[in-house]
Structure 1
């Protein structure tokens, strides 16, 4: 065994695919790239996510208490990185990166047409926001694009590296 710098631990435990989080505040939609999230409960679906207090989306999420988690396929990887490398404070990211906002049913934040799945969410718990920037979201409506068959997600490995999910295997399990 060899020592691993603690700054690299997150690379081993990155919980899931890189997603796009949309918000809308004062009639202005925004989108950010997010990879720090995890499922907390099956039904109703609860998702925990961390949004830095420095991100433009943080204030919108805190004020409106709603968002959309849009899940992009690997073909959108370069756009996902570009979205994450600039701020919504001074950039209309939908326009700049050719993303199509679509109206959601339960929230004002837009769906993203190019993503294979979109989850409309409402903030249900903010007790850990002040200490950890951690929001608990309840998914209230979920959408998928049936035209996107077998989409592959991207997973952040740190320092500009991403893995694309691969082969799926089926094993008997009592897990859902």
Structure 2
């Protein structure tokens, strides 16, 4: 195997392909597809999304200082892609994708009923980074689809949701589980 130097870029893949919902009332609720997202801190729970200022959702997030991150599934792939290549200035994305908005519980932005998990966020800071501005946020509420919660253990089995990932221009389903955290050092049972 040999490696060559390649042009500098953001080659950290795969990433979650999420739908970020925003707006403070049903008349202006919107969504956009985001792959530049992730966890910042677990305690307190914080995350981020990076959004181009020219996106129709950008001023809604900036004005309201709230958004919701909705994880997507393979079944939501077409809607996820569509919401990323069409503008909320020109289309009602809810009508066009067939996704169902639900009012947020702790924020004004909606959640998506079809999403297995929705993370309601309140913006702490906005950082101008170049092509994108990064919105760092406190997680103020998480709404989970009860279908994926084991009634006996209370464990959230997110791996059963058939999550969607994004890698270098393509969408993928997540593969088989190959181990759990710490499996490489776990003592084998006789």
Give the TM-score category using the shorter length. 0.7 to 0.9
Displacement after TM superposition at 1:2 (Å): 3.9
Contact 2:119–2:143 under 8 Å retained in 1: yes
| Secondary structure at 2:172 match in 1 | strand
Displacement after TM superposition at 1:74 (Å): 1.3
> Does 2:155 match 1:156?
no
Q: Deviations over 1:148-172 (max 9, x none)?
A: 561122221223x222111221142
> Does 2:175 match 1:166?
yes
Of 19-28 and 77-86, more deviation after overlay is shown by 19-28
Of 74-83 and 140-149, more deviation after overlay is shown by 140-149
- Superposition map of 1:22-41 within 5 A: 22-25=21-24, 27-41=27-41
Contact 1:116–1:144 under 8 Å retained in 2: yes
CA distance in 2, matches of 1:112, 1:171: 29
CA distance in 2, matches of 1:69, 1:38: 10
Contact 1:15–1:38 under 8 Å retained in 2: no
Q: Unaligned 5+ residue runs, structure 1? A: none
Q: How many residues align?
A: 169
Q: Deviations over 1:100-150 (max 9, x none)?
A: 000111111111001100011000112x13655011011100011122561
Of 58-67 and 21-30, more deviation after overlay is shown by 21-30
- What's 2:91 paired with? 91
Contact 1:30–1:57 under 8 Å retained in 2: yes
- What's 2:54 paired with? 54
Q: Unaligned 5+ residue runs, structure 2? A: 149-156, 184-190
